[in-house]
Amino acid sequence: MAVDHFARAMDDNEGYPMRLTVDGQSFDIDADPEMPLLWALRDLIGKTGPKFGCGIAACGACTVHVDGQPVRSCSLPVGHATGAITTIEGIGTPGKLHPVQQAWLEEQVAQCGYCQAGQIMSAVALLDEVADPTDADIDNAMGGNLCRCGTYPKIRAAIKKAAVLKTARL
């Protein structure tokens, strides 16, 4: 059963030792439960894959999964992150990339690359629910992930390729 660190720590109005499960590993941290999850991931745990963009859930660069659902970690209080957290660093390995990562390479999506960790995490979440997404499915899922370089056509192509790669692995 998940522990609501936020509620417990707010009772005594101070930081609270908590255990996070990130990319399959447990991490014990001591943090203000109102600290954004992104801060905890990057500064306390050392997971620098998720990026800080806007800080108000308006760009998507910080996207990670909690229990398989994408969340903007810059805005989710760490005290409310009570499920299994997955970052861009936890979806594949150099020797076995996630199909979305593989497709990203094959389609050469990234330009500056800053938003890509968030883009990929949203794409992974989409493909977990929709195996063969249409253009509309992709637009509907990816609308909250902004790319200042304008790589959207390549992102769409990569998601379609990833769908094929993922299905082929099954």
Binding-site ranges for another protein (CB under 8 A): 34, 55-58, 63, 69-72, 75-77, 80, 122-123, 125-126, 128-130, 137, 139-144
Helices and strands in the chain: count of H runs, count of E runs: 6, 5
Residue 63 beta carbon to another protein: minimum distance, rounded to whole angstroms: 8
Distance CA 64, CA 11 (A): 28
Q: Measured from the CB atom, is 56 or 94 closer to another protein? A: 56
Residue 143 beta carbon to another protein: minimum distance, rounded to whole angstroms: 3
Q: Measured from the CB atom, is 49 or 70 closer to another protein? A: 70
**SS3 label, residue 156:** helix
Q: Measured from the CB atom, is 14 or 34 closer to another protein? A: 34
Q: Measured from the CB atom, is 46 or 150 closer to another protein? A: 150
Pairing of β 85-86 and β 69-72 = unpaired
Angstrom distances, CA of residue 7 to CA of 26, 43, 81, 102, 160: 21, 23, 12, 40, 42
Residue 21 beta carbon to another protein: minimum distance, rounded to whole angstroms: 18
Residue 123 beta carbon to another protein: minimum distance, rounded to whole angstroms: 7
Distance CA 25, CA 86 (A): 10
Distance CA 47, CA 26 (A): 13
Residue 94 beta carbon to another protein: minimum distance, rounded to whole angstroms: 25
Q: Measured from the CB atom, is 25 or 58 closer to another protein? A: 58
